[in-house]
Structure formats: structure tokens, C-alpha cells
């Protein structure tokens, strides 16, 4: 079965997608709600994993084990870590890793990888989806996304992450989702829209742009689903 798993950390990140789905059933495992339904003729399982890496990884494994999804798309918001990545821009993951786990630990311990690569077909699908969105009110970028257990709003920490990882944006779940997807051989991609610049003004910017950015990411995901229907 070609069933697509869609994960958001918060309801605000998936509400727009949820509003466009036809629901068939709802399941609850380990405190996570899984909404089974269709987007047009595509089978979808949509879920809200909560904030942080442990929640994200737990929810992702359940999504794989219980619902046998063939692809995973993570949608949501993030803080920019690149001067070219502006508020409300879209970042499509090339690869994902943790900014709060030492790189030597990543390559020395299972699964012995410094980062986890997004699926090339899903990356290309996201690019085509962006190209089919009209009007275009923001730019898109393809690059590394880093995750960690903190909301980044300190310029010194921001600079340290940039120097170590050269990422395009930072958030709190994507690397965990990619990690679990990869060790299960499930194709994944992380889609994020920028809500803040991960600096001293991050909290103010986040509050202003979180819904706008969340919907930008969600609309791109819906366009990806539409393209999948036509393939």
C-alpha cells in the first residue's frame, strides 16, 4: 500500500493539511493520535508528535510499525541559520543531523552516520511542488537541517552551530524523524518554513510568524501530494 505518513510537531503545523483531508478513522498509541484518511485518492496517516527528539522518534517508529507507511514527510517551522534563508522561506532537507550530539559520537555509535540523507525523489517532488505554487511569495532552499533539544535564541549558540554544521535552519524534531526513517529504510524528507532567525528576537518573530510559516510549509506538502496523485 502506498500510504503517506505526515508528521508535525504541533497542531498548528498540520491543521491546514488536516482541514483538506477526508477522515476514515483515528487511532491512539502511546499518547499520540494518528488520523487515517485520504487526500483525494491518496492514503494518508497524519500525526502530531509533540516537541523534541524523543517524542518525534517514538511517534515515527509507531507510524512505521503500526501503519506501514511507504514515505514520511515532516512539515513545520524552523529558525534560519543562513543569511540567505529569510523569514517565510522554505527549506527542503538535503540531510539532517543533531546539533547537540557530538559528531564523533554519531559516527562511532549505531547507526554510524554523521547525518541522515533525505530521499532524492521526495526532494525533487518538493522542488516541483514549489514550482507549481502560484503566486510564489517566498524562496526555497535545499540544505542541511539540524535538530536539538532547545529553541535557539542566543547569537553565540547560533554561531557555534553554524560553524560546526553549516546548516540552513534549526528545529527540534527533523533529525530524529530522519534517523528513525533511515534505519527502517523508509524514504523521508523534512519541509520547514522559517518563523525566526534563531537570535535574540526569535521569540518575538516566532509568535508573529509561526502560523504564517506553518501554513506555507503545509501548502507545499499538499502540492507534493497533488503531484503524487498524478504520477
Q: Is 41 helix (H, G, I), strand (E, B) or coil?
A: coil
Taking the CB of residue 181, how many other CB atoms lie within 10 A of it? 29
Q: What is the pLDDT of residue 201?
A: 67
Alpha carbon distance 229, 38 (integer Å): 11
Q: Show the DSSP H helices in 22-153 as ranges.
A: 53-67, 103-108, 120-131
Q: Are 74 and 191 in contact (CB under 8 A)?
A: yes
Task: Give the chain's residues under pLDDT 50.
Answer: none
Domains of the chain: 3-230 (3.40.50.1580)
Model pLDDT, residue 137: 77
Cβ-proximal residues to 51 (8 Å cutoff; 6+ apart), any chain: 9, 10, 172, 173
Q: Cell numbers of 33, please? A: 493520535
List residues with catalytic annotation.
13, 196
**Residues in the chain, total:** 231
pLDDT given at position 150:
85
CB 82 within 8 A of CB 167: yes
pLDDT value, residue 73: 98
C-alpha grid cell, residue 191: 519541509
Query: In angstroms, rounded to a whole number, what is the distance separating the alpha carbons of residues 203 and 206?
Result: 5
Q: Is 133 exposed, middle or buried (0-12, 13-18, 19+ CB in 10 A)?
A: middle
Which residue, among 81, 230, 77, 70, has the nearest Cα to 144 in the 3D structure? Answer: 81
Residue 5 dihedral angles phi and psi, to the nearest 5°: -95, 130
Question: What integer pLDDT is reported at residue 152 of this predicted model?
Answer: 79
Amino acid at each position: 500500500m502506498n500510504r503517506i505518513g505526515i508528521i508535525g510537531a504541533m497542531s498548528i503545523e498540520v491543521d491546514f493539511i488536516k482541514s483538506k483531508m477526508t477522515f476514515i478513522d483515528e487511532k491512539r498509541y502511546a499518547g499520540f493520535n494518528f488520523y487515517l484518511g485520504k487526500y483525494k485518492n491518496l492514503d494518508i496517516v497524519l500525526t502530531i508528535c509533540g516537541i523534541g527528539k524523543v517524542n518525534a522518534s517514538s511517534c515515527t517508529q509507531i507510524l512505521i510499525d503500526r501503519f506501514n507507511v511507504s514515505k514520511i514527510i515532516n512539515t513545520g517551522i524552523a529558525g534560519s541559520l543562513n543569511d540567505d534563508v529569510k523569514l517565510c522561506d522554505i527549506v527542503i532537507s538535503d540531510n539532517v543531523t543533531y546539533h547537540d550530539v557530538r559528531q564523533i559520537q554519531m559516527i562511532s555509535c549505531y547507526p554510524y552516520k554523521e547525518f541522515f540523507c533525505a530521499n532524492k525523489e521526495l526532494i525533487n517532488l518538493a522542488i516541483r511542488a514549489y514550482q507549481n505554487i502560484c503566486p510564489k511569495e517566498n524562496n526555497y532552499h535545499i540544505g542541511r537541517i539540524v535538530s536539538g533539544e532547545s529553541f535557539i535564541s542566543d547569537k553565540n549558540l547560533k554561531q557555534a552551530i553554524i560553524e560546526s554544521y553549516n546548516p540552513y535552519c534549526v528545529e527540534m524534531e527533523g533529525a530524529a524523524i530522519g534517523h528513525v526513517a533511515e534505519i527502517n529504510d523508509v524514504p523521508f524528507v523534512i519541509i520547514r518554513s522559517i518563523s525566526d532567525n534563531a537570535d535574540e528576537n526569535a521569540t518575538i518573530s516566532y509568535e508573529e510568524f509561526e502560523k504564517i510559516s506553518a501554513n506555507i510549509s503545509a501548502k507545499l506538502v499538499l502540492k507534493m501530494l497533488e503531484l503524487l496523485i498524478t504520477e
